[in-house]
Structure 1
Amino acid sequence: MSNIGDALGTAVEGGLLSRAVASKATGKQPPDGDDVPLAEGHFSESSCLNCGELLTGPHCHQCGQKAHLHRTLGAFMHDLLHGALHFEGKTWKTLPKLAFKPGELTRRYIAGERARFVSPMALFLFSIFLMFAVFQAVGLTTPTDIDTEGPIAQAKVQASEARADVQLKYDALPENDPQRADLSGEIAKLDTALAAIETGQDYTFTNKDDKTVSMSIKQTGWNWLDNAVQKWRTNPSLMLYKLQANSYKFSWLLIPLSIPFVWLLFFWKRRFKAYDHAIFVTYSIAFMSLLFITISLLIKFGAAEWLWGSMLAFIPPVHMYKQLRGAYGLSRFSALWRLAVLLFFIAIVAMLFLQVLLLLGAI
């Protein structure tokens, strides 16, 4: 409790200090909101309510806060839409560019036109959130039961049947029959095999048709990897659920994983920096997320398979080609060979991302 109190005290102290520094920098004290006249939810301020600077336009030239704030429910709903959806004019300037002129959008954002377009990270976060929300809504989620007739389930059935068969033979013999000792040993072995099957361990037993059934997975010596394999064997449904949940949480890892591979396409061209590749990658992933949303909705509403299949097959490479050519100013040939290599790199990134998710699921 004392740590929490210290943290809160430090936070309050930091807030008061930052306000004092801001006031000292401007030479003015921000007005108290309760002292500013309020008419029908509209502040009638002449100084910035945030830093106290005199207002000379629609925004404070000192701290950037918008002038003429509103304290109304309508203003709150506007802030809600803006915060959740970035719902403003530049959204409608960004999305058409992202869809039809991705190279131009990437190049102009890198060149410094930041206020005109939605930032790539904001668009990425929104599209990822929306994609997984839509997936949940249309039922594209992990299955709750996995292959009930799979090898583990079959082995469990065979071991149970073999044990029941041996138990019947054991019960049919007189108590003083020496064969009962052998059958008791077989029952014990089958009980051990059943326990191993349940816990995902190696097992070997003889079924009622006198055939040997076994499963053996070599131990790597890495505890986390061996534990992960055991979890997948014993409860694949849970592991798939964790895999899906982690893919939501750690989708941002696709960006740092992809940047080095895009850099390899241009490493001899010094004018292109890692920042440029980061903008390229982030806008590209945002578009692909929006494309997957569109395709999932088409599938949900019964669109023809050839339609969404064609979209899935042709739109991504065409979009990446246009973005490569426009963002980096490439010729057709340069863009085409880089696209071919990039598609190969994407497969590598996907495998690396999957490996990370599997590792996270094993923890």
Structure 2
Amino acid sequence: MMGAEAAGELVTGALVAGAIEGRSGERHARGEHASLCLNCGTALLGSYCHRCGQAEHVHRSLSAIWHDIAHGVLHFEGKIWNTLPLLAWRPGELTRRYIHGERARFVSPMALFLFSVFLMFATFGAIGAHLEFPDNTPPSVSAQAQAKAKIPQVQAELDKLRAEQKAARDPTTAAALDRRADKLDEDLEGLSQIANWQPGRFADLKTGWKRLDEGFAKANKNPNLALYKMQSSAYKYSWALILISVPFVWLLYAWHRKYKVYDHAVFVTYSLSFMSILVIALTLLGKAGVGEDGLALAALVIPPLHMYRQIRGAYGTRRRWAILRTLLLVAFAAVTLTVFFLLLFAVGALG
């Protein structure tokens, strides 16, 4: 069932993106022929209608439906293969060329954004990735009492082992004592979690808005349900990331009148598309067994490097100013994500 839902989301995203990106008709070798456009009735002068753009030939076969789906998912009219390499390595050039009018060659920012977001959530659904709080079942009163009573004993034993390890002259003995001490460290941490158990919960917020405050209270009673609602709503409201981000990018070039809000919107939308694809790649690599340290390093290094290259190429900014703007953009991105998650939480609380 989870795989079917993921596939459904992927196909939906491709078709939505295709609807934004594609023309109204496709040319096929076989189909009905007419002297008038079947869409708008204009007399045809060639293979395509000069008024609405629909192809002279249209198809009416069941196989053509599957062709359209595969075409939307895999091809994006062939533009995807022109777009992705530039998006990955020369995002600034892609942004600049699209803004300056090269539209037919590349997938539009919004179409690529929609497809990448749908693909990301389809991937999460396929592999069962989701956020959740730890088990909210409280330990028994007796278990908590036993843990509290045992903590001083374990701590004393741990201190003794550390002292023996420090005094040991034989490396083998010191290593054995170190392993025993590490095990006691883990035991001590587990005992502390039991003794000081607190249920996973969201922050206690009081806004003065009765309905929203009631939603926060419900979320604290069942935080995993609240997280599920947030994840379910994330792709529906993903477009809000663009609206939240554009003003921040505008601030970086507010005194440059040659750059329009449209330019910043293209920059943001292509950047968010890349970040979605990066999340997909890192998620799949983690699922394939790549170490967490390597994935964490990639997650920390690649986004700011990509932002820097996009700023340099899109706006022609000098190196030192591009570095400064990249640092500001990373901070703005953190604020944007915080606002977005608060928005999702508020939507879930009110819903």
Q: With structure 2 as the length reference, what TM-score do the two structures score? A: 0.70
- Flag the 1:52–1:355 CA change in 2: closer, same or farther, 3 A: same
- Give the alignment partner of residue 76 of structure 2, picking from 76, 84, 87: 87
Tell me which amino acid in the other structure corresponds to 2:227. L
Gaps of 5+ in 1: 1-39, 162-216
How far apart, in 2, do the equivalents of 1:254 and 1:136 lie? 21
- Give the alignment partner of residue 128 of structure 2, picking from 136, 139, 159: 139
Aligned to 1:98: 87
Contact 1:138 1:296 in 2 (8 A): no
Tell me which amino acid in the other structure corresponds to 1:72. S
Aligned to 1:337: 324
Tell me which amino acid in the other structure corresponds to 1:313. L
Aligned to 2:275: 288
Give the structure, 1 or 2, with the largest relative contact order (CA under 8 Å, sep 6 or more): 2
How far apart, in 1, do the equivalents of 2:205 and 2:37 lie? 69
Tell me which amino acid in the other structure corresponds to 2:232. A
Q: Which has the higher mean CA deviation after the structures are superposed, 272-281 or 240-249?
A: 240-249
Displacement of 1:86: 5.1
What does the per-residue CA deviation read over 1:28-73, in whole Å, with 9 as the maximum and x for residues that have no partner? xxxxxxxxxxxx9522323322223232233111111122223233
Gaps of 5+ in 2: 1-28, 145-203
Structure 2 counterparts to residues 132-171 of structure 1, below 5 A: 132-143=121-132, 146-149=134-137, 153=138, 158=141
- Give the alignment partner of residue 297 of structure 2, picking from 310, 319, 335: 310
Displacement of 1:329: 1.1
- Flag the 1:306–1:237 CA change in 2: closer, same or farther, 3 A: closer
Structure 2 counterparts to residues 1-363 of structure 1, below 5 A: 41-84=30-73, 87-143=76-132, 146-149=134-137, 153=138, 158=141, 221-363=208-350
How far apart, in 2, do the equivalents of 1:218 and 1:78 lie? 51
Q: With structure 1 as the length reference, what TM-score do the two structures score? A: 0.67
How far apart, in 2, do the equivalents of 1:96 and 1:84 lie? 18
Displacement of 1:222: 2.8
How far apart, in 1, do the equivalents of 2:237 and 2:267 lie? 19
Tell me which amino acid in the other structure corresponds to 1:147. D
Contact 1:98 1:287 in 2 (8 A): yes
How far apart, in 2, do the equivalents of 1:221 and 1:77 lie? 53
- Flag the 1:220–1:274 CA change in 2: closer, same or farther, 3 A: closer
Tell me which amino acid in the other structure corresponds to 1:242. K
Displacement of 1:115: 1.3
| SS in structure 2 at match of 1:43 | coil
| SS in structure 2 at match of 1:88 | helix
Structure 1 moving runs of 4+ over 6 Å = none
Displacement of 1:309: 2.7
Over the aligned positions, Cα root-mean-square deviation in angstroms equals: 2.5
Aligned to 2:176: none
What does the per-residue CA deviation read over 1:222-249, in whole Å, with 9 as the maximum and x for residues that have no partner? 3134213311221111111011112121
Tell me which amino acid in the other structure corresponds to 1:135. F
